[in-house]
């Protein structure tokens, strides 16, 4: 039976392309109205909005720098004003920034990776909490971790792995804090997801082929693989799941 999110109001950060865009569209296909947040991808974000609007859902794109607390608070305020509230928040925005070995890493680089991946998640959740709490048992927070949180990531991704491991811990702690209101908090930990800007920028083609060749499931993951799990966690069927991390990696890191 398809998951039904009719009437639900969602904010997806980093939704201008890739995994975030797929999640935004997945939520809309299930019936939700969706805010498409982006950082620097205005054109592609507007295309996502157009696709959501074509489904008959309410949507708009909002630009904000998730490393700026004032911008994040504005993002949430504008989202609530447009939608009339918030039931679902998917904190997807993040960035590897660059592959740098620890021996060569500056403190500035380390802080920037932690800021854009972990501290930004804290900022977004803190700003959204009063609104999601009002949603009660319809309230959902979904955070984006990574397989790197489990296995340390690829070459030069130690800071990123540390940030994403922090996201998992943050999700567990926040789930305990807000569970009494009926709100669930969970994390997604994608492994290799092909055809994304992330790997197009930071992973050489031969390395990508090597990763796929070792996957037990025998294929690369897709953005829709991640989106499907997000839609499930946003649904009423997942109302008793909280503080969990869902690995979406084709069996690369079974636990």
Active site residues: 160
Residues 215, 190: Cα–Cα separation, whole Å: 13
Residues 233, 246: Cα–Cα separation, whole Å: 10
Exposed/middle/buried for residue 176 (C-beta within 10 Å: 0-12, 13-18, 19+): exposed
User: Alpha-carbon torsion 154, 160, 162, 164, what sign?
Assistant: negative
Residues 31, 78: Cα–Cα separation, whole Å: 21
Residues 77, 101: Cα–Cα separation, whole Å: 39
Q: 41 CB contacts (<8 Å, ≥6 apart)?
A: 16, 17
Tokens of 33: 């109205």
Residue 245, number of CB atoms within 10 A of its CB: 18
DSSP string, 91-155: E----------GGG--HHHHHHHHIIIIIHHHHHHHHHHHHHHHHGGG-EEEEE--THHHH--ST
User: Which residue, among 6, 61, 62, has the nearest Cα to 29 in the 3D structure?
Assistant: 6
Residues 105, 161: Cα–Cα separation, whole Å: 14
Find how far residue 103's CA is from the centre of its chain.
29
């Amino acid at each position: 039976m398809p998951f039904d999110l009719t009437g639900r109001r969602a904010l997806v950060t980093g939704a201008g392309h890739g995994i975030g865009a797929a999640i935004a569209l997945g939520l809309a296909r299930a019936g939700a109205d969706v805010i498409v947040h982006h950082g620097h991808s205005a054109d592609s974000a507007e295309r996502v909005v157009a696709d959501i609007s074509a489904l008959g859902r309410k949507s708009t794109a909002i630009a904000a720098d998730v490393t700026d607390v004032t911008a994040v608070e504005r993002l949430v305020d504008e989202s609530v004003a447009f939608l009339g509230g918030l039931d679902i928040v998917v904190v997807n925005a993040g960035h590897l920034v660059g592959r740098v070995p620890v021996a060569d890493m500056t403190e500035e680089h380390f802080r920037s990776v932690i800021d854009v991946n972990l501290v930004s998640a804290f900022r977004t959740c803190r700003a959204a909490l009063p609104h999601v709490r009002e949603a009660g048992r319809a309230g959902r927070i979904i955070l984006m971790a990574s397989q790197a949180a489990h296995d340390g990531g690829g070459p030069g991704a130690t800071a990123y792995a540390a940030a994403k491991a922090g996201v998992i811990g943050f999700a567990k702690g926040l789930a305990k804090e807000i569970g009494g209101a009926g709100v669930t908090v969970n994390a997604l930990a994608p492994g290799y997801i092909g055809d994304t800007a992330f790997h197009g920028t930071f992973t050489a083609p031969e390395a990508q082929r090597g990763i796929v060749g070792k996957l037990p499931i025998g294929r690369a993951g897709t953005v829709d693989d991640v989106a499907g799990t997000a839609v499930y966690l946003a649904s009423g069927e997942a109302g008793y799941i909280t503080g969990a991390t869902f690995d979406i990696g084709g069996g690369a890191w079974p636990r």
